[in-house]
Structure 1
Amino acid sequence: MTEMNQALENMPIPHDEEGPVFDEPWQAQAFALTVKLNEAGHFSWPEWADIFGAEIATATKEGRGCGNEDYFLCWLAALEKIVAEKEILSTDQLLTRKEEWRHANEHTEHGEPIKLGAGH
């Protein structure tokens, strides 16, 4: 078993009797986006597991990666890496989208869903 796979097994996805548990909406969105990109054939689960496992291994070595937020920060970092590696979005497109999300988040009332502008 590789170090990455061991790290994944040591940090299984947070869940309860009903399934995955997300502390924040962005965690569920990152999870769902990853599943959708996989279903669309952009990457295989083994490819995802390698990149995600590497993120968790790095976080573990750095003393991070033991709670829901840390887990999903690793998830998000892996998602950004695989999107770049598979050229699903260019670096500029990814930076633009992140800025759009940051702007929308800053201009959304607490408790309301974050919505990107028309056409996004």
Structure 2
Amino acid sequence: MALHGDVRRARTLGTGRRSDGEGLDRGVRALHRAGQVSAGPKADADQARIRAALASVPGIPCEGEAPVFAEPWQAQAFAMALALHQRGVFRWKDWAEMLGEEIKKAQAAGDPDDGSTYYRHWMATLERIVAQKGIATPALLDRTYHAWEHAADRTPHGQPIELKPEDYRQAGR
């Protein structure tokens, strides 16, 4: 299934409001429009970036020309990678190599290689590249991971998970 509509920003990235069209999640909203008629220059640029990613990184689940996401976090991970690439953090060729390494490492550890874990490898690649480039330290990534775990534990089933300062305090213990 393709993800449609705006994706709310995580509390750590903003105020929980919808995107203003200029933020990191702007690309997520454009994902489902990748093969449709554009709505202007920004939409054309978003679509071009998405097509470049699809052409450069093999294995992205697609429906027609548009990537498909089973869960919102997958679309957010895709959008983060697009944003980092757009800002010159990495080249798609380098991303594809690193993603391939992550997939091979997971397969050697017994990953089922049935497509269900593709975006877990995508996330591992994101974590690896932001640590390598000095954007985030491994310690910060670990603390954020544990904060998300705490937030998930306190969130009722079916409700969106939002990070709060208390989640980071709990993660630091």
Q: TM-score, normalised by structure 2?
A: 0.55
For 2:63, which of 1, 5, 16 is the aligned residue? 16
In the TM superposition, 1:32-47 aligns within 5 A as 32-47=79-94
Distance 1:111 1:56, change over 3 A: same
Deviation at 1:48, TM superposition (A): 1.1
Aligned residues: 110
Q: Identify which of structures 1 and 2 has the higher relative contact order when contacts are C-alpha pairs closer than 8 Å and 6+ apart.
A: 1
For 2:98, which of 47, 51, 63 is the aligned residue? 51
User: In percent, how many aligned pairs have the same letter?
Assistant: 42
User: What is the CA–CA distance in structure 2 between the aligned matches of 1:68 and 1:24, rounded to whole Å?
Assistant: 14
- Given residue 47 of structure 1, which amino acid in structure 2 is its aligned partner? D
Structure 2 residues without counterparts, runs of 5 or longer = 1-56, 169-173
- Given residue 93 of structure 1, which amino acid in structure 2 is its aligned partner? L
In the TM superposition, 1:1-120 aligns within 5 A as 9=58, 12-17=59-64, 19-64=66-111, 66-117=113-164
Deviation at 1:71, TM superposition (A): 0.9
1:66-112 per-residue CA deviation (whole Å, 9 max, x = no partner) reads: 23431112111111111111111012111111112111222222232
User: What is the CA–CA distance in structure 1 between the aligned matches of 2:87 and 2:64, rounded to whole Å?
Assistant: 28
Alignment root-mean-square deviation, CA: 2.3
Deviation at 1:65, TM superposition (A): 5.2
Q: Contact 1:23–1:68 at 8 Å: present in 2 too?
A: no
- Given residue 105 of structure 1, which amino acid in structure 2 is its aligned partner? A
Question: Normalized per residue, which structure has more helix?
Answer: 1
Q: TM-score, normalised by structure 1?
A: 0.75
Counterpart secondary structure, 1:50: helix
1:44-83 per-residue CA deviation (whole Å, 9 max, x = no partner) reads: 2122111101112233444425234311121111111111
